[in-house]
Structure 1
């Protein structure tokens, strides 16, 4: 799903116009970005947690010349899905065990 499709889905779910949906989506993305720049966590209960992790500087290798290079330290975005989201994605159908299934 791309941004345009997400905007259309928001418009269909909420009854907002596509322009209002796009503005709302842009505002949410802007707020999340600003919080991440300040190294803060965004916790969306039932969905997951966005956080910033720091990666230390390390040594690497140029794959074409095999020359050693220094990879600088950087910050990366981390997303940890909530247990609820994981359970929803991995939901299995429950079925009763009948007499035919009890062949022990």
Structure 2
């Protein structure tokens, strides 16, 4: 799903126009981004946690010349899903397996 499809899905579920749902989605993305820059962490209970992690500087290699290079330290965005979201993603259906699934 891309941003346009997500905007359309928000419009369908909420009854907002596509223009209004696009404004809402953009506002949510801006708020998440600002909070991660300011605090480095955003917790959405039942969904997951967005956080900022620090990667240490390290040695690397130029693949074309095989010369060693220094890779600087940097910050990266990270997402950890909640237990509930993991449960939904890994839920197994009950009942007997079909013949094709058993083999």
TM over 0.5: yes
Matches within 5 A, 1:88-99: 88-95=88-95
**Which structure has the bigger radius of gyration?**
1
Distance across 1 between alignment mates of 2:38 and 2:9 = 30
Unaligned runs of 5+ in 1: 97-104
Distance across 2 between alignment mates of 1:40 and 1:54 = 10
Cα offsets for 1:33-82 (capped at 9, x unmatched): 11111242111111100000000111100111111111010000110000
SS of alignment partner, residue 64 of structure 2:
coil
Shift of 1:27: 0.3
Corresponding residue for 1:6? 6
Distance across 2 between alignment mates of 1:36 and 1:61 = 31
Q: Which ranges of 4 or more aligned residues in structure 1 deviate by more than 6 Å?
A: none
Shift of 1:94: 2.4
1:45 and 2:45 matched: yes
